Structure 1
Amino acid sequence: MKILSTQRQKVLYTTIFATLLMAGISAYSSILSQQASIDGCKQHEMDVAVSIIQSSLQSEMNNAASKASVVAHLPSIIDAFRAGNREQILARLLPAFLIQRDRYGVNEGQFHTAPATSFLRIYTPEAGHGEDLSSFREMVVNTNKEHAPKKGIEVGRAGISIRGVDLLKDADGYIGSFEVGMSFMTVLDYLKKNTGFEGGAFVDNELVSRVATLLPPPDAERIVAGLRNVEATDWNVLKTIVTPELLASVTGVKTVLKTVAGSDFGIVITPLQDYKGVGIGAIVAVKKFDVFQKESSAAVVRAIAFALLQVLVLAGIVLVMINIMFVRSASVQESSK
C-alpha cells in the first residue's frame, strides 16, 4: 500500500507539472497570437491614415486647379484683367470667394502678371500691388513661362497652400495667371473625420520665415526640429507626442507605435513635398490606441483564465483516472492475498 501511495504521488506530481506546462504554453501562444492580430489592426489603421493623407493632398491639388481654371476662363474677368481694373475683378469675385473661404477651405486667390508680379490678392486687395514674387514663387514663374497650368504645394507671402495656377488670355495673347490656394485644414479635418487621427502640417521654419512675411511670428513651442507647425486639428494633442527625434530626417513615410504616459499612440509621418518634389516638411497624424490597449489587456486575461480552466479540467480528469487505476490495483493486490 505504501508503494502504491508513493507511485500515486509521483504520477500526480508529474501530471500536474505536465498540465501546468501545457496550459502555460497554450496561454503564451494565445497571447502572442492575439497581440499579433492587434498589432496588425494598429498597422492597418496607420496605413489607412497614410493613404487618406496622400489621396487628399492630390484631391485638393485638383480642386485648386479646377477652381483656378474656372476663374481664368470667365470672359468678364479676362476683360477686367486686361484693362487692369482691380475694382471690377473684386466686385465679381470677392463675394463668391468669401463663401469659398468659409465653407471650402480656399485661403488664397491671386492674380499675377508675367513673370510673377502680384496684381491682386482677393482677400487682401490693398497688399502687394506690383511686388515681384519671382524669387520664390516658381509655380507662377513656370506657369507664365511655359504657358501651362500648374498644381502643387508652395509657400507664398500668406503661408503654405495647396495650389492651382492657370493662365488668362484673350485674342491679343496671354495676360497673366490666377491661382487658388487651399488650406491644409481641408486635408487634416477630412483625416480626423474618417480615421480619428489628429493631424498637423509641419513646414521648414526657415523657408516660411523668409517667404511668408504676412504671417505673424509663431509660438516657440510650434517649432520642432526646425519645422514649424502651420496648421493642426488639435495642437494640445500633437505637442505631447511630436518630438525632434520623430521629425528628424523625414525622407519617407514613417509609422510608429509609441507609449506616452501609459497610453499607446499610433503615429504617422508623411513627407511634404513642394510641386517640384523637394521635401519641405511633413504631415504628422497621431491617434490614441486606447481601444486596442484595452483589447490587449482583455486578451491576456482571457488567455490566463482559459489556461486555468484547462488546468482544472485536466487535473480533475487525471485525478479521477489515477484514483480508478490505483483503487483497482489495490483491490487486485488485496484479493491476491
Structure 2
Amino acid sequence: MSVPHSVPRPPLRVSSVHAGLIAALVLALSFGAMLALTFSMQNDVIARDRDHQMAAVSQAITAALDEAGRFALTQAETTARQHAVGRALAAGDRAALAELTAAPYAYLKSQGVPVFGFHAADMTYLLRLHLPDKFGDDLTKFRQMVLAANKTRRSQVGLEIGVAGTFVRGIAVINDGDRFVGTVEAGLNLEPILEQVKTLTNADIAVVLSQSLAELPPRGPGDKGEQFGDLIALASTDTPLFTGLLRDGAIRLARTREISPYRIGGETGAILVQPLIDFSGRMIGNIAAVKSFASHGAALQRTRIELIAAALIGIVLAFVAFSVLARMLKPRDEAQA
C-alpha cells in the first residue's frame, strides 16, 4: 500500500507594497512610543521650570515684605532714639512732636511711608502726622501691634490691619530716660511693594484678606477692596485680573504654598497662592501671584511639530526603502525557487 506524498506549499510571498507597509507600521508604532515618552518628558521639564520660577516669585514677595518691614522699623527706631522726642511724648506735647518730626515725615512720605505717628503710654494715639486732626482715640481694642509693643516693651515689625488700612509697619519703643513713655510707628503702603516685586519677576501680585481669619468686622460701603465670599482683594498690581480670578474661584484660601497651572488670556500660565502672615505670626489671608509663560507654550508647540514632522518623514522614507528593497529581492527569490 503506497503512502501518499504531501505536496509542498509554495513559499509565502510578500509583495513590495506589503513589506513597505509592515515596516512603516512597525516604525510608526516605535516613533509613536518615542514621541509619547518625549512629550511626557517635555511636560515634566516645563512643569519643573514653572514651579521653580513661581517659587522664585514667592521668595521675592517674602523678601520685599521683610525689607519693607526693616525699613519701617529703622525709621521708627531712629525717631525713638531722639531724646527731645522722648521728652515731648512724656509731656504729651503734640506741637513739639509735630515740630520735631515734620521735616523727616515729609521726606518719608515722598519715599512711600504715608503713616507716621506717636502712641502714648496709656495706649491712646497722641499724634498722627498723616492725620493730625485725629487723635486721642483708644488703641487697646484694634491695634494689637501697638498693644504688643506696649506690653513687651519691645519693637514690633510686620503686617497689621488698622483704621487707615493694612500696612507694613515698624513700631519702636520710646523711653524718657529709664521711663517708658510710649511708641512711634512708621507704615508703608502695600501697592509700591507689590509693584517692586512685579518689576523683578514679571508676575502680577495681589494681597487677599480673609475676613474670618483676620477677624474683620462687617464691611461698610466705603471699605477698600472688593469682597468675594470670605476673601477681600485688598491690593494688587492688576485689579481686573485678580477680580476675575477671585470671581471664577481660581484663587482660593490656602494654608500652604500652592502652585497650579492656569491659562491666562489663551496663554500658558501659573497661579501661586501662599499664606499671608501678620506681625504676630497669625495667618490673615493669602498672597497670590500670576505669571504668564507664553514662551513655554510657543516653544513646546514648535518642538512637537518638528518632532512629529520628523517622525512622519522617517515613516515615509522607511516605506519607500523597504518597498524598493522588497522589489529588488523578489527576482532573486524566484530564481532560487
- TM-score bracket for this pair, using the shorter chain length: 0.7 to 0.9
- Structure-1 separation of matches of 2:102 and 2:222: 24
Aligned to 2:299: 295
Q: Distance in 1 between matches of 2:269 and 2:244?
A: 11
Q: Who is 1:11 aligned against? A: 19
**Residue 229 of structure 1 pairs with residue 237 of structure 2:** no
Task: Indicate if the aligned counterparts of 1:225 and 1:247 stay in contact, CA closer than 8 A.
Answer: no
Q: Secondary structure at the match of 1:270?
A: strand
Deviation of the 1:163 alpha carbon: 1.4
Aligned equivalents of 1:4, 1:292: Cα separation in 2:
52
C-alpha root-mean-square deviation of aligned residues, in Å?
A: 2.7
* Equivalent residue in structure 1 for 2:121, among 111, 114, 128: 114
Map Cα deviations across residues 147-190 of structure 1 (whole Å, 9 max, x no partner).
Answer: 11111221111111111111111225111100111222243112
Quick one: distance in 2 between partners of 1:101 and 1:320?
83
How many Å apart are 1:244 and its aligned residue?
Answer: 6.7
Assess if the C-alpha contact under 8 Å between 1:225 and 1:244 holds in 2.
no
Cα distance change on mapping 1:321 and 1:114 into 2, 3 Å: same
Matched, 1:49 2:53: no
The DSSP-based 3-state class of the residue aligned with 1:315 is helix
Q: Helix, strand or coil for the counterpart of 1:136? A: coil
The AA in structure 2 aligned to 1:90 is A
User: Take 1:247 and 1:26, find their aligned partners in 2: how far apart are those partners?
Assistant: 37
Q: 1:211: how far off?
A: 9.9
Q: Provide structure 1 residue ranges, at least 5 long, that are not aligned to the other structure.
A: none
Quick one: distance in 2 between partners of 1:212 and 1:161?
Answer: 18
| Distance across 1 between alignment mates of 2:66 and 2:196 | 13
More helix by share: 1
Residues in 1 aligned to 2:83 and 2:324: alpha-carbon distance in whole angstroms: 96
User: In the alignment, what sits opposite 1:36?
Assistant: 44
Partner SS, residue 97 of structure 1: helix
Measure the CA separation in 1 of the matches of 2:218 and 2:131.
Answer: 17
How far 1:327 sits from its partner (Å)?
4.1
Query: Secondary structure in 2 aligned to 1:35?
Result: helix
**What percent of counterpart residues are identical?**
22
Q: Letter of the 1:189 partner, please give it.
A: E
Aligned-partner Cα distance in 1 for 2:237–2:257: 20
Question: 1:145 is matched with which residue?
Answer: 151
Q: Contact between 1:26 and 1:307, CA under 8 Å: does it hold in 2?
A: no
CA distance in 1, matches of 2:166, 2:93: 28
Gaps of 5+ in 2: 1-9
1:83 maps to amino acid: A
**Does structure 1 retain, via aligned residues, the 8 Å contact 2:267–2:293?**
yes
Shift of 1:113: 1.0
What's the offset of the Cα at 1:267?
0.6
Q: Distance in 2 between matches of 1:313 and 1:20?
A: 12
> How many residues in Structure 1 have an aligned counterpart in Structure 2?
327
User: Quick check: 131-140 or 56-65, which moved more?
Assistant: 56-65
Q: Could you tell me how far 1:202 is from its partner in structure 2?
A: 1.4
The alpha-carbon deviation at position 21 of structure 1 amounts to 1.2
Deviation at 1:250, TM superposition (A): 2.2
Letter aligned with residue 296 of structure 1:
L
TM-score normalised to structure 1 length: 0.87
Alignment counterpart, residue 311 of structure 1, candidates 310, 315, 328: 315
SS of equivalent residue, structure 2 residue 114: strand
Tell me the TM-score normalized by structure 2.
Answer: 0.87
SS at match of 1:300: helix
Please identify the structure whose Cα radius of gyration is greater. Answer: 2
